[in-house]
Amino acid sequence: MHLLVTGGCGFIGSNFIQHMLAAHDDLLIVNLDKLTYAGNRRNLAEVEASHLDRRYFFVHGDICDQTLVPELMRQFRFDAVLNFAAESHVDRSINDPFPFITTNVLGTQNLLEAARKAGIPRFVHISTDEVYGSLGPTGQFTEDTPLAPNSPYSASKASSDLLARAYFHTYGLPVIVTRCSNNYGPYQFPEKLIPLTYLMASRNEPIPVYGDGLNVRDWIYVLDHCQGVEAALFRGRPGAVYNFGGDAEKTNLQVVRTILRLTGRDESLISFVADRPGHDRRYAMAFTRSTADLGWTPAYSFEDGMARTLAWYQANAPWLDEVQSGAYRQFMDSWYAERKA
């Protein structure tokens, strides 16, 4: 089976490629990645060392490239495209929405169009619970919840979901959309809450908590998400949307306190800062369709997933040091300076 994975050098994409190559002997994976600040080819160094000759190929390129993408689809005759590539950080989308529209909307459109013309038999588009907007204190998102995105990031993801839907209905492209809650695990870039908190705690520096710290996210260990995407690839129904969640609703303060406890740090490191504009209050995912149709449920508890995640970061301190390039500092310094002001 020939797979085109986009964004495979990012957090979830690199976990997905490692999982798939370990789980299946008959795969050839082409990873198309632009290597933005969030993409790191070293996330797949072990895969490159072991599979480069026959089962894994890296292509440095942009999903928006209207020459490269059709050419790859012609050359490799893919059985499926899995679109992980995206600008993924909500705060950056507030700071500058343009790259989000370019990659998440136009890039997805370019992939869909090339897949249509090449007659690709399966297209899995990786999306997010954030397209549903924000919940009150009760209830859960289902696949039938109306889309109500609140940030430039989630608006760009909702737009790409709608394009995927349109390509199924108009052209019959066999598209499946997956929507997942907040992931955590190895290789997550330290701009997101969990690795950022670990990084600051390990340095005994203040941990920025937005607003009152009581916003709720539904946390899922990244391997559970990867197995959901795998199940959607093999067993999903074209045209369907599948939700994945971790059954682990936590306030941000609960998450931060867990990391402080597991790293032996004091709660005095918690620093309340100005809230994120338009901050969604609560997410929670119902995933009964994924269980019924795909046989999928999350396997990792929050406690188990967090223990594995922190052990990985502790064992990979050089990775954490390396990804904090000039571009990382530039955004982080100005964003958090504004929050404290």
Please report, as ranges, the residues that interact with ligand NAD according to CB under 6 A.
6-7, 9-13, 32-36, 38-39, 62-64, 84-88, 103, 107, 126, 128, 157, 180, 182-183, 189
Which of ligand DAU, ligand NAD, none does residue 190 bind (CB under 5 to 8 Å by kind)? none
C-beta pairs of 149-153 under 8 Å, 24+ apart in sequence: 150/278, 150/280, 151/90, 151/93, 151/94, 151/278, 151/280, 152/93, 152/94, 152/97, 152/100, 152/101, 153/87, 153/88, 153/89, 153/90, 153/92, 153/93, 153/100, 153/104
Q: Which is nearer to ligand NAD, 85 or 173 (CB)?
A: 85
**Range 62-101, binding ligand DAU (CB under 6 A):** 88-90
Minimum distance, C-beta of residue 206 to ligand NAD, in the bound complex (Å): 24
DSSP-assigned letter for residue 121: S
Minimum distance, C-beta of residue 33 to ligand NAD, in the bound complex (Å): 5
In DSSP terms, 341 is beta-bridged to: none
Cα 131 to Cα 167, 210, 277: the distances in Å are: 19, 21, 17
Which of ligand DAU, ligand NAD, none does residue 39 bind (CB under 5 to 8 Å by kind)? ligand NAD
Q: Which is nearer to ligand DAU, 108 or 173 (CB)?
A: 108
The answer to whether the beta carbons of residues 32 and 8 sit under 8 Å apart is yes
Minimum distance, C-beta of residue 149 to ligand NAD, in the bound complex (Å): 12
Q: Note the helical H segments in 81-143.
A: 90-95, 98-100, 108-118
Instruction: Give me the catalytic one of 153, 184, 242, 283.
Output: 153
Q: How crowded is residue 296: how many other Cβ atoms within 10 Å of its Cβ?
A: 21
Which of ligand DAU, ligand NAD, none does residue 196 bind (CB under 5 to 8 Å by kind)? ligand DAU
Which of ligand NAD, ligand DAU, none does residue 84 bind (CB under 5 to 8 Å by kind)? ligand NAD
Which of ligand DAU, ligand NAD, none does residue 126 bind (CB under 5 to 8 Å by kind)? ligand NAD
> Who's near 260: CB < 8 A, 6+ residues apart?
197, 201, 207, 266, 267, 269, 270
Exposure b/e, 31-66, CB count within 10 A at least 16 = b: bbbbebbbbbeebbeebeeebeeebbbbeebbbbbe
Tokens coding 267: 């709660």
Minimum distance, C-beta of residue 112 to ligand DAU, in the bound complex (Å): 20
Minimum distance, C-beta of residue 76 to ligand NAD, in the bound complex (Å): 16
- Is 129 designated active site? yes
Instruction: Give me the catalytic one of 33, 87, 130, 191.
Output: 130
Q: How far apart are CA 302 and CA 304, in angstroms?
A: 6
Q: Which is nearer to ligand DAU, 111 or 259 (CB)?
A: 259
Minimum distance, C-beta of residue 283 to ligand DAU, in the bound complex (Å): 6
Cα 107 to Cα 1, 2, 23, 63, 122: the distances in Å are: 24, 21, 29, 5, 17
Minimum distance, C-beta of residue 66 to ligand DAU, in the bound complex (Å): 26
**Range 181-210, binding ligand DAU (CB under 6 A):** 181-182, 192-193, 196, 208-210
- Is 130 designated active site? yes
Instruction: Give me the catalytic one of 62, 129, 224, 249.
Output: 129
In DSSP terms, 124 is beta-bridged to: 82, 176
**Range 203-262, binding ligand DAU (CB under 6 A):** 208-210, 215, 217, 252
Which of ligand DAU, ligand NAD, none does residue 90 bind (CB under 5 to 8 Å by kind)? ligand DAU
Residues annotated as part of the active site: 129-130, 153
Q: Which residues bind ligand DAU (CB under 6 A)?
A: 88-90, 128-130, 181-182, 192-193, 196, 208-210, 215, 217, 252, 276, 283
